[in-house]
Amino acid sequence: MDATADATADARADTTGTLDEALQRLHASGPERLGRLTNHAPMAVEALAAHGRADAVHRWLELYAPKLEEYPSAVGSITDDDWREALGDPRRAADWIAYFRRQVGERPWRDVLAAWWPILLPGMYGGSTHPVIRVGHAVRTLLSGEATEPRVAELAHGLGYWAARHRPVTGVELLPLGDSEGAGTAAAALDAVEPIPDRDSGGFPARLGRVAGLPAWAATVTDPDEAHRALTELVRAATHRYATHGHGEETMLVHASTAPNAVLRALPALPRTLWAPSLHAAWTASAAVTSMYAPDAPVTYTAPGTFAPEEVFERALAHGDEHVIKFTDTALDIGDERALTAALRAVEISEPLR
């Protein structure tokens, strides 16, 4: 092995070790704080490690530490016979995490994910979509490297959080997109989303309950490859859109792209029969967030220069906000100039982590 290969192996080992240490540390904390806000640290540290900044993980965690809360108390054991009674009960977060820890200890993590994905997918809108985002980060790190115990445990924590916050969306009418030029694109569909009434009041659950209709984009897609293509298009369109619309709510609107991107990251680990349903659920999430937080009008935004992807990520890291880091992580998945511009916009309008 030459010197370059040695250095690469050493860097990979350092990233694996640092990320695993961070995840072990974070698994002593709960998935939420203040009874409703998400613990973003596991997702953010995975993004840092994925982009070669494992050296910044523990320093960032020290800044984020005041937002961590103790692990929640257990209520009672969840079993294969009674899990339906606990689905969607946030008080059972510790019980659900323990259940999935047992599941991934007994079966390959891919089998657990494939079995539970169709059960959890209809409820991906609970917890402001953060549970599925956490699962997406966990799956990415499992697919890209060794399935170490902390990484498999992180998937269990993500699935458990998702089950506890499981919330389906019902009664949403699918509205025709029309037949104008470009109407079939994800960008046009997002532009066609109508804002909810009284969108300046209430938190995520209350606003979600006021979503009554969404454009029927990609509703007829059943082919797995077409679903993958359409989901990729959606992530790109939602990310690009943030540059001109993110000011509607700089934090919440990042989820219009990070939630579908989490689903996209999970697809390679899922049976192809689940790809089309995943697209449909991801579209509902992205469109609903757009409806809930859309600004009155877009703005023109020009990036303050031209930056390489790694420079944009460094700006996000220096800013420190967990949503900015995760959104930039998604923008780098796309990698084009408009996506990087959107990430710079997020840095500009979001409150830094102090």
> What single string gives the DSSP state of each residue in 297-341?
S------SS---HHHHHHHHHHH--HHHHHHHHHHHHH-SHHHHH
Structure tokens belonging to residue 115: 């079995």
| Residue 353 DSSP class | P
Task: Judge contact between 137 and 155, C-beta under 8 A.
Answer: no
E strand or H helix that includes residue 33:
strand 32-33
pLDDT at 11: 42
| pLDDT lower than 50: segments of the chain | 1, 3-13
DSSP 3-state percent helix, strand, coil across the chain (nearest 5): 65, 5, 30
Give the per-residue pLDDT at 285: 98
Q: What is the pLDDT of residue 16?
A: 74
Residue 101 C-beta-side C-alpha neighbours within 13 Å: 14
Contact 350, 250 (CB under 8 A): yes
Among 121, 127, 140, 128, smallest CA distance to 255 is for: 128
For residue 6, what pLDDT is reported?
A: 42
Question: Where along the chain do its domains lie?
Answer: 10-164, 171-354
Residue 334 confidence (pLDDT)? 98
Residue 199's pLDDT is 83
The whole-number pLDDT of residue 183 equals 64
User: What pLDDT, on a 0 to 100 scale, did the predictor assign at position 5?
Assistant: 42
The pLDDT tens digits for 268-319 are 999 999 999 999 999 999 999 999 999 999 999 998 888 999 999 999 999 9
Q: CA-to-CA distance for 101 and 29, rounded, in angstroms?
A: 15
Tokens of 171: 């009664």
**Distance from C-alpha of 211 to C-alpha of 208, rounded to nearest angstrom:** 5
- Look at residue 182 in the predicted model and tell me its pLDDT: 57
